[in-house]
Amino acid sequence: MADNAASLSALVTGGAQGIGRAIALAFLKDDMNVLIADRDEDACTETAAALSQYGRIIGTICDVSVEEDVRKAVHSAIDRFGRIDVLVCNAGITGPAVPLEQLTLEQWRSVIDVNLTGTFLFAKHAAPYLRKTRGCIINIASTRALQSEPDTAAYTSSKGGIVALTHQLAVSLGPDVRVNCISPGWIETAEWQKHANRTTPVLPEQDHLQHPAGRVGTPEDVASLAAYLASPKAGFITGQNFVVDGGMTRKMIYVE
């Protein structure tokens, strides 16, 4: 039985910790119902309880790389809220940082399956409901889609694929559904983890000053943009990738 079916509703993957948790909170503060889908059961339960003071939120356990889990998560949102207006595909893993010759096919596939295939699966199963509400999809990629660190082939490829999938979905699902992407840079998420893993970050001043904006990013920086992209104010924006990195990808760096 749907609750508050007239209210806008969002589904946020990887919503129990980090950037996903900040996005869920931002949506709740915008009076949306929120379902968080996450494979960490403890974090999912903890976050749903902690954020319930801000609005209606439920958690569901989900491995985004498993299609049946994705189908169940989407149906849970429909069963509980009656609609999906916003889908945020945020769940992701980094995988091992190993030289290309040592990267196994299993390691490659595990990253691609979660980061890229998981994004595809949620878009696929949520699309019929998003069409009905003329909703939107917000994918979370990374600045690694635009620049690389050594030995991160799987992660970088998965995030680049998300950026490409974003503009493809925007064309395929438009004009009914808008689809955009956010590529965060260095975002400090230590204070947004589940209680057992939460720490207070201690960052040297040089970490902040190397950013043209003068500081390392926070989950709220990404969440505020997600809230805007989910709003009617962004009604003419689709197929775009927005970099949130304090200007780092625009900074030329030379070895001196």
Q: Where are the beta strands (DSSP E) in the chain?
A: 9-13, 33-38, 57-61, 86-89, 136-140, 178-184, 241-244
Helix segments in 82-210, DSSP class H = 105-112, 118-133, 153-173, 205-209
Catalytic residues: 155
- Tokens, residue 98: 């190993």
Residue with tokens 């039985």: 1
Residue 229 CB coordination number (10 Å): 23
Per-residue b/e over 5-36, b at no fewer than 16 CB within 10 Å? eeebbbbbbbbbbbbbbbbbbbbbebebbbbb
DSSP category for residue 195 = G
Sheet with 9-13, strands from edge to edge, namely 57-61, 33-38, 9-13, 86-89, 136-140, 178-184, 241-244
Residue (of 109, 90, 120, 123) closest to 153 by Cα position: 109
Q: Are strands 86-89 and 178-184 parallel, antiparallel or unpaired?
A: unpaired
- Tokens, residue 84: 């999906």
Residue with tokens 């304090």: 246
3-state class (DSSP) for residue 88: strand
